[in-house]
């Protein structure tokens, strides 16, 4: 995501900032204009005070577009929950920004509506997942220590809040981009037959002793469990790629003409190869930079030819959807 500018003094503002560091004026983001706007022109989201939501209200509502989609919030009786909820909503706003830039709807033709519930597991286990547009997120995933310990115990190379959201929303867009678009045949050719029992596949996946996977065929171990999981993982990676390329657009680097064209709007780039040609050296570069700082690789994944084919189908389905709309 590119940086934004303060509408009063033009200082650069990050997406999450609630106040300009230059002039101390409030920073309010308007998702319709995809810009920071003057606070006197709009009403701020009612969650601004409690969790620092910096979006403006949807007209006639108390909340912004993002907060309005959260149906259930954790108990705000303890301050830790509030702090974790704040982090969850920050990641969620980045997801909604991606969806807006991709011009994707939040409601399917069959009436399925994207919504969220953020639940604390204080009173029982909470499974992060998706059901008919409703995304459930376990609040504990916002706790760095908790999430990192889960990542290690599940032998994952990458686990983030934003990654969870980009993965879970993938199921909803399977219905919109594949099912409603009648693209089952190409989907099955590339990802496999999704009519195989999902419950059986997941049970077999969790019972599996061998936790290795072949990176030539799947982007992650979890993607091997069922074609739907493979799609959701691949969809998340497509979002990682276009969002990170969008950030590249704002950096002071000299780039060739074709690259600059792609970076004008990576979310809407129609040439898939142009996206990947930019992404591969960028992913390698951020990994090298991270290692120089003693950090883990930012993008610990390999895009093999098979995975590239899957990403290409995601891109094709997105372009086809936009052309129909």
Q: Which residues bind Zn ion (CB under 5 A)?
A: 6, 8-9, 11, 20, 22-23, 45, 47, 53, 55, 64, 67
Contact (CB, 8 A) for 192 and 227? yes
Nearer to Zn ion, 55 or 321 (CB): 55
Nearer to Zn ion, 10 or 155 (CB): 10
Question: Least Å distance between CB 163 and Zn ion?
Answer: 21
Nearer to Zn ion, 67 or 313 (CB): 67
Question: Least Å distance between CB 137 and Zn ion?
Answer: 16
Contact (CB, 8 A) for 191 and 177? no
Nearer to Zn ion, 9 or 203 (CB): 9
Question: Least Å distance between CB 36 and Zn ion?
Answer: 9
Residue-by-residue DSSP string for 60-117: TSSSBHHHHTEEE----SSHHHHHHHHHHHHHHHHHHHHHHHTT--SB-TT--B-EEE
Beta strands at 115-119 and 134-138: parallel, antiparallel or unpaired: parallel
Contact (CB, 8 A) for 1 and 12? no
Q: What kind and span of H or E run contains 36?
A: strand 35-37
Count of beta carbons in the 10 Å neighbourhood of residue 253: 9
Question: Least Å distance between CB 20 and Zn ion?
Answer: 3
How far is CA 70 from its chain centroid?
16
Beta strands at 28-30 and 70-72: parallel, antiparallel or unpaired: unpaired
Question: Least Å distance between CB 132 and Zn ion?
Answer: 24
Nearer to Zn ion, 70 or 234 (CB): 70
Nearer to Zn ion, 62 or 251 (CB): 62
First-last CA distance in the chain: 24
Question: Least Å distance between CB 17 and Zn ion?
Answer: 10
Gap between the Cα atoms of 26 and 22, Å rounded: 11
Nearer to Zn ion, 17 or 262 (CB): 17
């Amino acid at each position: 995501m590119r940086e934004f500018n303060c509408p009063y003094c033009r200082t650069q503002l990050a997406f999450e900032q609630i106040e300009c560091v230059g002039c101390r004026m409030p920073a309010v983001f308007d998702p319709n204009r995809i810009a920071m706007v003057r606070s006197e022109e709009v009403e701020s989201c009612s969650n601004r005070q409690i969790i620092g939501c910096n979006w403006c209200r949807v007209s006639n509502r108390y909340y912004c577009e993002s907060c309005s989609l959260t149906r259930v919030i954790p108990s705000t009786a303890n301050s830790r929950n509030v702090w974790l909820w704040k982090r969850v909503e920050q990641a969620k706003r980045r997801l909604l920004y991606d969806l807006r830039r991709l011009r994707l709807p939040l409601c399917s033709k069959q009436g399925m509506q994207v919504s969220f519930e953020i639940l604390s597991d204080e009173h029982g286990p909470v499974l992060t997942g998706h059901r008919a547009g409703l995304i459930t997120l376990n609040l504990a995933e916002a706790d760095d220590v908790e999430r990192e310990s889960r990542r290690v115990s599940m032998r994952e190379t990458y686990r983030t809040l934003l990654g969870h959201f980009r993965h879970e929303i993938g199921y909803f867009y399977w219905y919109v981009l594949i099912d409603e678009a009648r693209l089952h045949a190409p989907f099955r050719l590339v990802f496999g037959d999704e009519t195989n029992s999902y419950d059986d596949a997941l049970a077999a996946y969790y019972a599996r002793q061998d936790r290795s996977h072949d990176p030539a065929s799947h982007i992650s171990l979890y993607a091997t469990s069922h074609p739907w999981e493979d799609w959701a993982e691949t969809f998340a990676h497509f979002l990682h790629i276009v969002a990170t390329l969008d950030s590249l657009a704002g950096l002071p680097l000299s780039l060739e003409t074709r690259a600059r064209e792609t970076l004008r709007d990576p979310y809407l780039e129609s040439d898939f190869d142009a996206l990947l040609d930019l992404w591969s050296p960028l992913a390698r570069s951020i990994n090298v930079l991270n290692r120089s700082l003693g950090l883990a690789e930012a993008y610990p994944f390999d895009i093999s030819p098979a995975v590239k084919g899957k990403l290409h189908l995601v891109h094709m389905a997105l372009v086809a959807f936009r052309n129909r709309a």
